[in-house]
Amino acid sequence: MENLILHIEGMSCGHCLNAVNRAIAALDGVEIDAVKIGRADLRFDAAKIDAATIAAAVSEVGYRATPAPAA
| pLDDT for 69 | 64
Q: Long-range contact list for 55-58, CB < 8 A, 24+ apart?
A: 55/6, 57/23, 57/24, 57/26, 57/27, 58/6, 58/8, 58/20, 58/23, 58/24
The residue-averaged pLDDT of 15-44 equals: 95
Q: Is the pLDDT of residue 27 over 90?
A: yes
- 19, burial (CB in 10 Å: exposed 0-12, middle 13-18, buried 19+): middle
Q: Is the pLDDT of residue 43 over 60?
A: yes
Flag the least confident range among 27-31, 60-64, 66-70: 66-70
> Residues of the chain with pLDDT > 70: what percent?
96
